[in-house]
Amino acid sequence: MSANTSPEPPALPPRLLEPVPVIGVIAVGWLIAVLLAFTVPCLHDWRPTTVAGLGVGLLGTSIFLLQRRAARRGDRGAQQGLT
C-alpha cells in the first residue's frame, strides 16, 4: 500500500466546462446594472462603476474570444485548453 496514492476526482460534465454561458450571464447582469443606473434617479452614483464594469467585461470577453480563435487555428502563441 502506497502512501502517495489518492483517488482521482471524476471529470466535470461538458456543460460545466463551457465558459460562454457564464460570460453571457455576467454580461447581462452588468447590462441590467447599467440600465438601472441610468433610469433610476437614486442610483445615479452607480453610473461610473457600472459603465466601467461593462467596459472591462467587454474587453475581457474580446481577449478571450481572440485567444480561443487563435487556439482553434493552432497558432503557436495561443493559450491551451480554449477549444
Residue 28 cell numbers, joined: 447581462
Among residues 68, 79, 55, 54, the alpha carbon closest in space to that of 18 is found at 68
Q: Is the pLDDT of residue 79 over 90?
A: no
Q: Which residue has the cell 502512501?
A: 3
Mean pLDDT taken over the chain: 86
How far apart (Å, rounded) are the C-alpha atoms in residues 5 and 41?
Answer: 60
Rg (CA), the chain: 20
∠ CA 58-29-51, rounded to 5°: 50
Q: Is the pLDDT of residue 83 over 70?
A: no
Kindly indicate the confidence band of residue 20, based on its pLDDT and cuts at 50, 70 and 90.
confident
Kindly indicate the confidence band of residue 41, based on its pLDDT and cuts at 50, 70 and 90.
very high
pTM beyond 0.85, yes or no: no
Q: What is the pLDDT of residue 25?
A: 92
